[in-house]
Structure 1
Amino acid sequence: MTNNETLKAIKNRRSIRKFKENQITKEELNAIIQSAIYAPTGHNDQPWHFTVIQNKEVLNKISEVANESMKNSEIGWISKLGSKNRPLFYNAPTVVIVSGKEGAYSPLTDCSAAIQNMLIAAESLNIGSLWNGLVSYFFENKEEAKILNLKEGYKPYYAVALGYKDCEQPVAPERNEDVFTYIL
């Protein structure tokens, strides 16, 4: 079982926060996006839309707007992070906004499954990834969010930053193994 490539990708995947400048290839991006649409969904609804951003100016604008909004958060660590004005996506050259269809049966769950597929696919290609929820602070500014021309009837949930890793693979934190109950 330990030689299984899928299990290796799952266990080795880490959130990457340092990316090289060069863009991932179209083939790599397509493979990652294709893996997303093969995620399971409730009632095979497939209630998602993916907005791929590779424009550095747009990515910088998202960071700027999100950081300003984060500064006003009542959650201490978020306001502190926003005050640092760091790039939201750690300079990743590709970011995918994952949106779910409003009124669908389980869009948040389905989009989360799609994101996990993307993260594992990226790891299998030795591409770094980061699941980013702080992008929601950008979407609080409806006027600024218009620059993304998001599909109508869909709500943006998360972003996935993608790029070649510019750091050592982080060590996995210990896992709590006392989380299983077997009923035999």
Structure 2
Amino acid sequence: MENFTNETIDTTQLPRFEEVEFSVLHPSYWKVTLINTFFFFLILAIGLGLLLFFNQGLLVFLVEISIAFFLFFFTFLTLSRISFKKKGFAFRTHDVLYRYGIIATNTVVIPYNRVQHVALHEGFISRFFGLANIEVFTAGGSSSDIQIPGIEIEQAENIKQLLMGKIQKQL
């Protein structure tokens, strides 16, 4: 029978994810974000315009509604830009890291031995710019644990192959 031991780990010697150099999203992904934002707000503006057209009583508030709409639009754009600049990803020997956040920066670390499935998605606008998203799934969830947007398609395919290779080695 083997003797059980439970030694204390020196946490100062553990590798620190904060020191990892993250890869940034492709610069063209900002264009994708802008186009998606434009279409979202265009649909919102059309809906607001139809509401104002069919409800004449709201025309009194047209200036206030317009100011609020444009403030919301520019606030959304500013927060999207900050979010874009903070996102990053890294692949290390034993895990994948994804950093995101606006006010608080979050870092997700997933060891390769927990990865169950990897998906590569190309949206309509992203495909036009040659970009894709990588989704990494772990056991026990129906949605992806990490979704890394704004990666060149060739690089995304290489990342998918790397992760699939890591999965195969685990089996």
Structure with higher Rg: it is 2
Larger helix percent: 2
- TM-score, normalisation: structure 2: 0.25
- TM-score normalised by structure 1 residue count: 0.23
In terms of fraction of residues, the more strand-rich structure is 2
